[in-house]
Amino acid sequence: MGLIVGIVGATGAVGQKMLEILKSRNIPIEKLRLFASERSAGKQVKFDNIEIEVELLTKEVMKEKFDYLLFAAGGAISEVYAPVAAEAGNIVIDNSSHFRMVDKIPLVVPEINGHILKGYKGIIANPNCSTTQMVMAIAPLHKKYGIEKVVVSTYQAVSGSGYRAIEELKNQLQDENYPNKVYTRKIGRNCIPHIDVFNENGFTKEELKMVYETHKILEDDSIEINPTAVRIPVFYGHSESVYVELKEEVDVEEIKNLLGSTEGIVLEDEPWENKYPTPLEAAGTDFTYVGRIRKDIFNPKAISLWVVADNLRKGAATNAIQILEKMENIKMEG
């Protein structure tokens, strides 16, 4: 018997990726139902050569029986409909930020803390895309050596802002006079050090997500994290420059061996051969790529990393479906 799966926000960028990944990872599905707002309800969406009609999202349909409901429709939708689905006994995997910092709701990257899902039912939060790829790279270091401090600068693709942002970049690359509507500045041939709203302390909401979500996933609030989030004119794939101060002096080759043997990470670190990760190559894949690993010139306990991943896949849709897979594996293990 296969699974009964629903996708809320099925016509959006992340929802479409979820459909693609459900197919590519051969998730056994008995029935797939797709939900969206009135604007998209009634549309036909193809999955596995079958046309599926998108249903109108209502509280009543969320009370029906599903094995998993994948939410990809934003925090305002999740706030209203995810609790209804969970109260009806459904497992909800939510890609929005709404539940991430709620104490009793697990925030999960399966390779790192998937064990906390054992016996759990209810809402599960998917981390922010920039957080996910960073913790994939630093979690093995924290486990082995301990981390004192992280300084991270992100270089984030426009697909993180949805279809309208993708179209805006395309148009601005063709026409320098095309106006900016999605961003505060033109993104074509530019970079913008502003993702989400600014907090009173000068950090943006996106940057603070990286701080508090990392603390929750790694279960360590003592790690000092200083992020700067930047939007760049790339369509798919986020990149990050990550500086990590560890609790002990380490050997670079040992770090490379550790990360290269970690599930979900691909090591590309032969810079003298021009081998290092870039978002163009990472796009369309489900791995986190790490390269440019080097020890700090002045601090023997510090290293720098270059981390790249597809923000719509490992940063969102793939991680959500890996949560589903992890829960199914836990069931099989008893």
Catalytic residues: 129, 238
Q: In this structure, how many other beta carbons lie within 10 angstroms of the beta carbon of residue 85?
A: 26
262 burial (CB, 10 Å; 0-12 / 13-18 / 19+) is buried
Angle between helices 205-218 and 129-144 (to 10 degrees): 40
Q: Which two tokens stand for residue 66?
A: 């599903």
Residues 6+ apart with CB under 8 A from 52: 32, 33, 34, 44, 45, 46
> CB neighbours of 247 closer than 8 A, spacing ≥ 6?
145, 146, 147, 148, 301
Q: Write the CB contacts of 212 (distance below 8 Å, at least 6 apart in sequence).
A: 101
Q: Which helix (H) or strand (E) holds 20?
A: helix 13-24
At 36, list the tokens: 């969206």
**Residue 46: closest CA among 23, 74, 71:** 23
